[in-house]
């Protein structure tokens, strides 16, 4: 089977899901020929730049407007139809990319790409290709829904009624398999070994702060207040590629004399290690970050969610008692309270374990095989 995964750079989650799928195929299905392509970039630089930069500009500088547009286009109205037509208009350019790889199955990790592939199938140009729409958040959105799609893969089962009742999707093509994550998130190493290697104390309560997307001021205040009020707490702060933030944090750590209980990190390739040894993570609620945290059975304190899919992700986590939501003013108090309530924290950890979908990537590949007619033995989880 030849599998083409089409992704995009509007947020890291789409590409990370695609990478997790590719990794699983290489480990478990070496007979599958897989190619991952950034679909928006392949269409053309202008379209990709406009879409990607436009997305980041709105969520950073006009989040309220972005949230309003997100909600408006989730209804069948003029705005929704315009968005769908604009994206479908790029279908012929995407066809050139698809024909280069001649796939049996296409997995789309982005709503805009789904609209294009739908148009191509409807016009008879992909008659022999099965197509799967992978929704990489914990709430569905109408722009992911289009005719001629063979399967919709959801993050969790409670999303299914919305597809059926609001979008009119046939229930038989809905598969709540989960969002693909790398195996290393669901198969931890020994805590003592990880802590020894990373210079951490395995006996201390550990807070992981994923700070790269938060800006500077808010993170500094949150870290400082938590560190001041919790002298026995061990903290790991990952700033991503935010150089200004790590410089400021370095200064604050020295001012507080907290060097021996704070591990500051720039960009890392082993975030799963820190998730596995932590008791709580402070993070933004992107779909992939949530799925990786759930895979590690790690409760979440959500900070700085923007309106739109992130807020819907938060709503899901709060309803499932897998996370708390904090802001700059109450973050230290709420996080400290939770860390000093082991019974509640353990209940949240169990909820994360219940929601985890460790076999999501493998199950999605099984689904692709079934649609293609090249299925191996074994049921979907």
* Structural domain boundaries in the chain: 2-181+358-372, 184-355
Largest CA distance in the chain: 67
Instruction: Report the C-alpha gap between 52 and 200 in whole angstroms.
Output: 38
pLDDT of the residue at 328: 82
Residue 122 has pLDDT above 60, yes or no: yes
Topology of domain 184-355, per CATH? Rossmann fold (3.40.50)
pLDDT, one tens digit per residue, over 194-248 is 999 999 999 999 999 988 666 667 788 889 999 998 999 999 999 888 888 889 9
Helices (H), the chain: 13-28, 39-43, 45-61, 63-72, 78-88, 91-101, 111-122, 160-165, 183-186, 191-198, 217-229, 243-256, 271-277, 287-295, 309-319, 331-339, 342-355, 360-372
Instruction: Measure the CA–CA gap between 62 and 70, rounded to whole angstroms.
Output: 12
Summarised one tens digit per residue, pLDDT across range 24-34 is 999 999 999 99
Selected from 3.40.50.2300, 3.40.50.1380, 3.40.50.2000, 3.30.70.20, the CATH number assigned to the domain covering 2-181+358-372 reads: 3.40.50.2000
Q: What is the mean pLDDT of the chain?
A: 92
Mean pLDDT within 161-178: 97
Confidence at residue 241, expressed as pLDDT on a 0 to 100 scale: 82
Q: Residues 304-353: pLDDT tens digits?
A: 888 999 999 999 999 999 999 998 889 999 999 999 999 999 999 999 99
């Amino acid at each position: 089977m030849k599998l083409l995964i089409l992704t995009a750079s509007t947020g890291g989650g789409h590409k990370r899901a695609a990478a997790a799928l590719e990794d699983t195929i290489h480990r478990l299905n070496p007979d599958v020929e897989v190619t991952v392509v950034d679909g928006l970039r392949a269409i053309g630089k202008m379209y990709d730049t406009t879409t990607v930069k436009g997305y980041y500009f709105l969520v950073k500088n006009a989040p309220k407007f972005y949230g309003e547009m997100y909600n408006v286009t989730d209804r069948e109205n003029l705005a929704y139809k315009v968005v769908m037509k604009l994206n479908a208009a790029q279908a012929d350019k995407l066809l050139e990319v698809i024909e280069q790889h001649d796939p049996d199955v296409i997995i789309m990790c982005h709503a805009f790409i789904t609209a294009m592939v739908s148009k191509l199938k409807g016009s008879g140009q992909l008659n022999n290709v099965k197509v799967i729409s992978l929704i990489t958040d914990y709430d569905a959105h109408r722009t992911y829904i289009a005719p001629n799609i063979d399967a919709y893969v959801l993050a969790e089962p409670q999303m299914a009624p919305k597809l059926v009742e609001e979008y009119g999707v046939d229930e038989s093509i809905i598969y709540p398999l989960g969002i693909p994550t790398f195996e290393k998130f669901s198969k931890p190493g020994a805590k003592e070994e990880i802590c020894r290697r990373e210079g951490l104390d395995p006996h201390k309560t550990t807070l992981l702060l994923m700070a790269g997307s938060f800006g500077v001021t808010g993170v500094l205040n949150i870290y400082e207040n938590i560190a001041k009020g919790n002298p026995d707490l061990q903290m790991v702060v990952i700033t991503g590629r935010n150089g200004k933030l790590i410089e400021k944090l370095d200064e604050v750590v020295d001012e507080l004399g907290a060097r021996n209980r704070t591990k500051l990190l720039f960009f890392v390739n082993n975030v799963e290690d820190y998730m596995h040894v932590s008791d709580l993570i402070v993070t933004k609620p992107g779909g992939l970050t949530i799925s990786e945290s759930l895979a590690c059975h790690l409760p979440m304190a959500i900070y700085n969610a923007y309106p739109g899919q992130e807020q819907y992700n938060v709503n899901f986590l709060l309803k499932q008692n897998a996370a708390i939501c904090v802001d700059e003013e109450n973050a230290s108090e709420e996080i400290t309270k939770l860390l000093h309530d082991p019974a509640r924290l353990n209940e949240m950890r169990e909820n994360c374990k219940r929601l985890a979908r460790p076999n999501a990537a493998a199950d999605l590949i099984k689904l692709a095989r079934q649609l293609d007619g090249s299925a191996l033995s074994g049921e979907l989880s």
